[in-house]
Structure 1
Amino acid sequence: MSDSKTDCKITPPRLPAELQEYPAFERGIRSEDCFTAGSVTGAAIRDQQADHVLFRQTLFRKVAFQRTALKAIELTDVRFEDCDLRNLDISGAILHRVVFLRCQAVGIDLNGATLRHVVFDGCDGSYGFFRFADLEQVRFAKCLLPAADFQGASFVKTALQDCDLRQAQLSGARLKGIDLSDCQIDGIGIRLEDLKGAIVAPIQAVALARLMGLVVKE
């Protein structure tokens, strides 16, 4: 996976050809549990509170995480398809080679997370929390991110393609080299110094100038 505009070359998850279904999480998920080379399909994971859980080489398909906090989780070679991740708390997570495809992720908490080679494709991350997250080799494609909080986040070789960023908060984020030209950015919260080196379309430049208090003469 690559994006020539940002040199955002992303390595996909390395999943085995065959995965065994994980047994139901009847006993719950406990801190420091480790799950490797399995899949979860059509399940609901409810009311779980655990730290430092590890999922490696895992496929989640149509899984709903409800009232669940898995702080400092580590996800390596993991794929989420059509999952319900609304209000899932995975703050402080470490994600490496992870794909989120068509997921409902309204209010997801990735504050302070580290993301490497991660793709969000067709997801709804409205009101999501990415504050002080460290993103490198990450792509958001056709995602809804209105009012998402990226304050203080670090973006390196990250692509935002055709995303809705209206009212998103990006104050203190480092956007040098980030292409926002095909995103909706009305009402974005940002400082002038944060925009240094960012790539925007001409019409966006006018809107941003007005946001900064400049008077643009027509």
Structure 2
Amino acid sequence: MTRARREWTLAEPSVPPHLEPGDVSTLGDATTAGVDLTGAVVPELHEAQVENSDLGRLRAGGGQWERVTLADCRLDGADLANLVWRDGSLLRCSLREARMTGALLVGVRLRSTLLEGVQGTLTSWHGAQLRSVVLRGCDLSEATFTETVMEDVLLEDCVLTGAQLSGLRCRGVQLRGCRLDGIGGVAALRGARIAEEDAVALLPTLAREMGITIGD
């Protein structure tokens, strides 16, 4: 009996069509909903919760976020490069063509969130939890996944060249059309489903980690 192909479809964030202009100075230590923060500059943010809002092209590069929760928000085109984000949450959000190069996410939780076309080279996902997440067309080369949990996650057409997976825990994870050459800690993918053409790239790494020499 052939197993049915799973559909990986996430609902768009629930952002109202008409939003009030947002004031960055009022975000800290507060809950804010239904605001337009398009292009806002938010390098420092603490104890904030933003809901049902547009954060497209937001700029937080090189900043520090602590205990920031974003729910039903669009972060399409956001610049989060080198952001240090601790103990935060992304719930039912979208990040399309966002820039996350060198970002450090510590204890950040992602639920029902789409990352598409994200530039995420050299990102560090330390103690992060990804559940019901789709990563599509993302560049995660040389990313580090330390004590990261992935549950019901799809990685499709992503680049994971040189990524370090040691400590990653997988459940219900699927990889399709991904570049997996040179990854470390490949045993952490135990339990994941990998397309046949992707698995071929894993053979040299698997052999190396098992002490097997390929060749004459």
- Write the deviation string for residues 17-37 of structure 1: whole angstroms up to 9, x where unpaired: 2112213x3x4753x122210
Moved more, 157-166 or 196-205: 196-205
Match of 1:79 in 2: 74
Equivalent in the alignment of 1:168: 163
Judge conservation of contact 1:176–1:195 (CA < 8 Å) in 2. no
Equivalences, count: 209
1:91 to 66, 86, 111: 86
Is 2:39 the partner of 1:42? yes
Q: Name structure 2 gaps, 5 residues minimum.
A: none
**Alignment match of 2:205 (pick from 199, 208, 218):** 208
Post-superposition Cα deviations, 1:43-87, rounded to whole Å, max 9, x if no partner, equal 3334x2x42211111111222114421211111101112111111
Name the TM-score, length of structure 1 as normaliser: 0.86
TM-score computed with the length of structure 2 as normaliser: 0.87
Q: State the partner residue of 1:17.
A: 17
The 3 A distance-change label for structure 1 pair 149 and 5 is: farther
**Partner Cα distance (1:100, 1:203) in 2:** 30
Report the AA paired with residue 209 of structure 1: L
Aligned-residue identity in percent: 24
Q: Distance in 1 between matches of 2:207 and 2:82?
A: 34
Distance across 1 between alignment mates of 2:5 and 2:105: 26
Q: Which amino acid aligns with 1:206?
A: L
User: Is the CA contact (8 Å cut-off) linking 2:152 and 2:171 kept in structure 1?
Assistant: no
**1:114 and 1:135 in contact (8 A); partners too:** yes
Q: Which runs of 4+ in 1 moved over 6 A?
A: none
Instruction: List alignment gaps of at least 5 residues for structure 1.
Output: none
Q: In structure 1, how many angstroms separate the alpha carbons of the residues matched to 2:150 and 2:200?
A: 23
Structure of greater relative contact order (alpha carbons < 8 Å, 6+ residues apart):
1
Q: Does 1:189 align with 2:184?
A: yes
RMSD of Structure 2 on Structure 1 (CA): 2.1
